[in-house]
Each structure stands twice: as C-alpha cells, then as structure tokens.
Structure 1
Amino acid sequence: MQTKFWHDYILHIPDYPKPGVDFKDITPLIADAAAYQQVIDAMADYCTQNNLQPDQLVCPEARGFMFAPALAYRLGVGFLPLRKPGKLPRQTAFTHYELEYGTDELHIHRDDIVAGKRIVIVDDVLATGGTVAASVALLQSLGANVVACLFVMSIDALGGQQRIQSQHPNTIVHALKHY
C-alpha cells in the first residue's frame, strides 16, 4: 500500500472558475484528518527549523483561515485575521490591493498589532502575491516585524514570490508545494 502525502489530496480542476485556470481544490486535504495534520505539521516544522519564532500569525480572508488558526494552536501563538470591509467591530487599519478587475481592502483591528511583535503571514495559495504584499506593508506600517509569509502552495508562474520579495526583501517567502 502506497502512502499518500498531504499534497496528494489537492485536486486539480481544469478550466475552473474560467477557461485556462487550473484550480487547486484543497477541500479533500482539509477533509482528511491525517492529511490535514501532515500539512499543519509541515508548516510548524518549517517555522521551528527556520527559527521564525512568531508571536502571532496573521491571515488574509478567507481560505487561509483553514490553516492559520490550526498552525497558531500548534505553535502556541495567537492568530489575527485580515478581513474584508465591515467585518471587524473595532477601529481598524486597512490597505487597498489590486485584483484582476478592480481593487479590494483588507482590515485588521488597529490595537491588536503591537509594535515589534514577530508576525508570520499564513495563506493557502501564493499566486500573484498582491494581497500578501499589501498585507505585509499594512502590518509594517503598524510597527509589526513581518518575518515570513508561509503558504501551503505556490503557483510559481504567476510570480508571487518575486513580487513580495521585491517589495519586502527582508521577509522570508516560503511555500510547501510548488506548481
């Protein structure tokens, strides 16, 4: 019997949501307890082996929410969400970022970020890097030390790692699986 690894549970759905897109469906990964544990353990191991020592994990809405809280629990650190407009009840700081057709915003409670705290941003997929590059800039503007951006997977042809590193050269960018 051949062992399945966590990345074997990621399904490739061609031409979804539009022609030419090879969508990566993580639903089977998070539905399988052993595979889900494997990916969380792999992310935790990366943080430990690279001495990232985060004080908090931050994650942009929404699919990364499936990984960041579990990883925060595993590392024994806090988790903060970056949310769409109107989702957070207290005073927020926010950033605009570019989408394929327009712009959007991400907000975080202003008083949840403590200057000097070590932050690791966690998300499911690194594509163009626009959302995460804007997230790093927002957190840094609040005084956070964003030490790394950690992804379950990267679509390398879209240039996200280069984009983030060109704008934030002191921030580590790492994906567990590359496509």
Structure 2
Amino acid sequence: MAANTTEAKLDLVKKHIKAFPDFPIKGILFRDICPILKDPGALTAVIDLFEEHVRQTHHQVELIAGLDARGFLFGPLLAQRLGVGFVLIRKKGKLPGRTVSVPYTLEYGQAEVEMQEDAVAPGQKVLLIDDLLATGGTLSAACELLRKNKAELLGCVVVIEMKDLRGSERIKPATVFSLIQY
C-alpha cells in the first residue's frame, strides 16, 4: 500500500530504521538507515517528506550540501526534486582541487571536513542534509564551513535526530528538521 499522508510516510520510514545494540561500541544503540535505501517506497517517503518541508520552509534554497557519506545518499535526490544543485562536504583529503576545511573534535580525536573552494558562492542560500544528528560534531563543523565560505545557511535536515544527545544545541543558530526523533 502506498504511503499517501505525512503520517503514513513517517510510519513507513520509521518501520525501515533498524536498531543495532552495542554498535559500534558497547552501550550505543545504532540506528541504521540502510533498510530505507533497500525499499523504494521508504526512500521515496523520505524524499517526499524532505521536499514538503523545504518547499514550505526554505522555498528560496539554491543549493543542497550533503555530508560525507550518508548525506550523499539523500541530498542529490532532494536537490533534483527541488531543481537545485548539490555539493559535497567530505572528510579531509577526499576532494580534488583547492579546498577549504574546518577542524572539529570527536570523542576520540580530531577530524576535518572540507569542500571545494568554489563549491558555494558568497550569499548562496544552502541547506545541509545528513542521515543522523547525534552529538552534532560533524554537522556543526559543516555549518561553520559554509559560514566560512560566506554561504547563507538556511538550516539542516536529517532523517534521524537523537534528541537526548542534544546535537541541535551544538549547531545553533542553525535550525534542524528531523523526520524521526529518538
């Protein structure tokens, strides 16, 4: 049966999120979006819900920026639906040409995110996309990277938000729209 209403689409998405206890380490309950990608109806529901939100809230969006690597799965599909471009925000050392990067701290060390120097024009209205918001470290760095490049960050969209980890507080003043919250 096709998911036609917002509630039915959200139910379909939630049904396709698989929980893995003690992954990647003991005490973590990992929420996996891979089953969404295997099911065309669930994937369509995710993009439908994102599109509906963006058209209502960020109708002026000019570019979608996706985070390495799962933002790459949803971002191009959403960008295509909206008729806008898509750019990659990757881990350091993965992009050719001149890049701009921002370092950030992880629980276990340091990392950097980067984008190509000419990926975003100053003043361009950009929306960030990823699969999951947990502690907010990577998403916060991506927000900073876009600001460093003088983009106008409209907000962030994610499939899943782990509310108890309070990642949305770390990326303020940027806003977060999440389909599913745990």
1:153-175 residue CA offsets vs partner (Å, 9 max, x unmatched):
1001111011112xxx2x22111
Q: For the residues of structure 2 that align with 1:112 and 1:162, how far apart are their CA atoms?
A: 27
Q: Which stretches of structure 1, 4 residues or longer, exceed 4 Å deviation after superposition?
A: 1-4
Q: For the residues of structure 2 that align with 1:111 and 1:88, how far apart are their CA atoms?
A: 12
TM-score normalised according to structure 2 size: 0.91
1:99 corresponds to: 106
| Aligned mate of 1:160, from 156, 164, 167 | 167
Structure 1 unaligned residues grouped into runs of 5+: none
1:70 corresponds to: 77
Amino acid at match of 2:104: Y
Per the TM alignment, residue 119 of structure 1 is displaced from its structure 2 partner at its CA by 0.3
Q: Where in structure 2 are the equivalents of 1:43-54 lying within 5 Å? A: 43-54=50-61
Aligned residues: 175
Match of 2:51, SS state, is helix
Q: Where in structure 2 are the equivalents of 1:101-140 lying within 5 Å? A: 101-140=108-147
Q: For the residues of structure 2 that align with 1:56 and 1:25, how far apart are their CA atoms?
A: 26
TM-score normalised according to structure 1 size: 0.93
Matched, 1:27 2:27: no
Structure 2 unaligned residues grouped into runs of 5+: none
Per the TM alignment, residue 136 of structure 1 is displaced from its structure 2 partner at its CA by 0.9
Q: For the residues of structure 1 that align with 2:38 and 2:60, how far apart are their CA atoms?
A: 29
1:13-52 residue CA offsets vs partner (Å, 9 max, x unmatched):
1111111111111111110001100001100100011134
Per the TM alignment, residue 7 of structure 1 is displaced from its structure 2 partner at its CA by 1.6
1:85 corresponds to: 92
What is the CA RMSD across the aligned residues, in angstroms? 1.5
Matched, 1:59 2:66: yes
Seq. identity, %: 39
Match of 2:23, SS state, is coil
Matched, 1:151 2:162: no
Q: For the residues of structure 2 that align with 1:131 and 1:148, how far apart are their CA atoms?
A: 14
Matched, 1:173 2:176: yes
Per the TM alignment, residue 87 of structure 1 is displaced from its structure 2 partner at its CA by 1.5
Match of 1:132, SS state, is helix
| Aligned mate of 1:10, from 17, 22, 33 | 17
Q: Is the 8 A contact 2:65 2:86 kept in 1?
A: yes
